[in-house]
Amino acid sequence: MTAPVDTPSQRIDALRQTMTASGIDAWLVPSSDPHLSEYLPGHWQGREWLTGFTGSVGTLLVTHNFAGLWVDSRYWVQADKELAGSGIEMMKVAQGQQILAPIEWLDVNRSGPLTLGLDGAVLPLAAHRAFKTRLGERVTIKSTRDLLEDIWTDRPALPSLPITAHEATHAGQSRAERLTRLYQAMNEANADTHLISTLDDIAWLFNLRGSDVDYNPVFLSHALVDAHHTRLFIDRDKVSDTLYEALADDGVVLHDYADIRDHLARLPEATRLLIDPARVTLGLIQALPAHVTLVESFQPTTLAKACKSASEIDHVHAAMARDGAALCRFLCWLDEALASGEVISEITIDARLTAERTREKHFISRSFPTIAGFNANGALPHYRATETAHASIEGQGLLLIDSGAQYLDGTTDITRVIPIGEPDAAQKADYTRVLKGMMALSRTRFPEGIEAPRLDAIARAPLWEVGLDYGHGTGHGVGYFLNVHEGPQVISRGAQPTPQTAMREGMITSIEPGLYRPNRWGIRIENLVANRRVTDNIDADAEAFLEFETLTLCPIDTRLIESSLLHEDEITWLDDYHRTVFERLAPLLDEDTRLWLAEKTQPLAG
């Protein structure tokens, strides 16, 4: 293909030509890679390259007379703007349904035989099965070829940055201990071999970290584990000789990243291969010989990784304190800069906040792109300021800041809203109802093992009382110096309450209700919490209960609170939280910031 493909419309035209030559009626492009990651290396950002849409989630379907991008409510405004003039239609979908929604559209809008093309290397096995069930026999799915290889001539190469050990000082458990735990889980599942492709599971299992994926300290790899071999498929050039020897001492043998399919194809007869259909791709399963028996189960490392040890929680406490100190220095500077009339923009916010975090011990990177949205921009839940499109912080309004960091001893994620000028009554009412929802869930006790999605309504109740709601989930799992979004728990009314989403001791989750007034302002208040066992006021014969321990340490701006909307117990919770924030952070701060924090944590109660 030699014609220029510089715009989304030209790229879609080029794709259609390749579809015609390949006998394909429709082509599907998910936001995915061979590891089913949230944040993708450039090599697999094909959906963004084709459409120009920069959001992290969306699914593209292209036929010969239609192109549509399915996105949920978090991205409707952004997609509408970024797709303008491309000929690609923005399709609204419920959160979490992006993959299946285009298939349902295809089923309704096409009749007769159809050939659907997709790259099986980036499609979850479970999604492929759902496609087959929905489309039936009249649709042929071609999944062994990536058509983008024909038209994406400047496609980025695979990343090649070095891998490091996550040392025992911070990891808590040794690599050998984690592998032994995995072997036990495999035996319980009556499987002799296990395939793992999700990058955070591999990083956790082998106590390794990398930087192949922006914001997530992971590296491209697959793992194949059995009783006799532990094989890690990785670019050998990323591994130092010292690390190579340490892995070998634990029985880990390295193979080239691209050789995983060959090894799968050579699995011996009677192999019982443990897989999680939601966490491996169709392309890998297609490489298996017919004599391999699939043992399908929830991936053992995913739950083990989610339940942080006491040692890991202790490390997170330390990381949260340092992160809180950086946030306080930033917020103190912001108040002073605004008071002095300094020109500040959303870009300035990100740069200054990152600079403060960079000063802290064990800082590695941001944990996701900082969201700094003033007024109307704050009403876009996944807004991102750019050098060419951003707002200045001036006049009156609300500044929403959602940010986080990766430290060697923890991952942080926090959202605060700052009033610029004097907030009005409507802003205070909105803010206080969001705060009430955050506090209500933070104070909740619940049976151990309850499915996390069932907790979602608790945070929404203060908003529902007045007919308000928000379009995103209330909470996501958070890794330990790993992905800022991890499972299996998710607090969201859009998620299925399955046994895999059960709340267990040691899990770290966000609590982040919000409220968004289009073209006016957005409000979200977010803390991270850890599940801990309840030991007081529980009937001796009752089942085990859990409660949330708030981990995040940063003042919640009381200038936006309408006190008349708070009950006495809510005021007590907030005052207690602020007392803890001051006690934990004051010793880490300079005198000016400490005085600022003392003012910001004054009790609301008389």
3-class DSSP state for residue 283? helix
Sort strands 59-63 and 67-71 into parallel, antiparallel or unpaired. Answer: antiparallel
Q: At residue 597, what is the residue type?
A: L
Q: At residue 573, what is the residue type?
A: W
Sort strands 67-71 and 89-92 into parallel, antiparallel or unpaired. Answer: parallel
Tokens of 234: 């990785």
Burial class (CB in 10 A: 0-12, 13-18, 19+), 361: exposed
Strand arrangement, sheet containing 67-71: 89-92, 67-71, 59-63, 26-29, 114-118, 139-142
**Residues 71 and 103 sit within 8 Å (Cβ to Cβ):** no
User: CA-CA distance, 360 to 326, in Å (whole number)?
Assistant: 7
User: CA-CA distance, 268 to 135, in Å (whole number)?
Assistant: 34
DSSP state of 345: B
Nearby residues of 314 by Cβ (< 8 Å), 6 or more positions away:
none
Q: What is the pLDDT of residue 1?
A: 42
CATH number of 8-151: 3.40.350.10
User: CA-CA distance, 28 to 42, in Å (whole number)?
Assistant: 18
3-class DSSP state for residue 174? coil
Tokens of 354: 């990152």
User: CA-CA distance, 589 to 593, in Å (whole number)?
Assistant: 6
CA distances from 77 to 72, 85, 514, 519 (A): 10, 15, 17, 10
What would you measure as the largest C-alpha separation in the chain, in angstroms? 75
User: CA-CA distance, 170 to 168, in Å (whole number)?
Assistant: 5
What share of residues in the chain are helix, strand, coil (percent, to 5)? Answer: 40, 20, 40
Nearby residues of 35 by Cβ (< 8 Å), 6 or more positions away:
197, 198, 199, 220, 222
pTM tops 0.85: yes
DSSP state of 526: B
User: CA-CA distance, 404 to 387, in Å (whole number)?
Assistant: 21
Homologous superfamily assigned to 164-305: Creatinase/prolidase N-terminal domain (3.40.350.10)
**Which residue's entry shows tokens 């004097």?**
422
Angle at 513 between CA 512 and CA 515, to 5 degrees: 135
Query: What residue ranges of the chain have pLDDT lower than 70?
Result: 1-5, 95-98, 538-541, 606
Q: What is the pLDDT of residue 170?
A: 94
Task: List the one residue out of 594, 528, 585, 555 whose CA is nearest residue 316.
Answer: 528
Nearby residues of 73 by Cβ (< 8 Å), 6 or more positions away:
92, 95, 471, 472
CATH 3.40.350.10 domain range(s) in the chain: 8-151, 164-305
Chosen CATH of 307-598 out of 3.90.230.10, 3.50.50.60, 3.40.140.10, 2.60.40.180: 3.90.230.10
User: CA-CA distance, 262 to 273, in Å (whole number)?
Assistant: 15
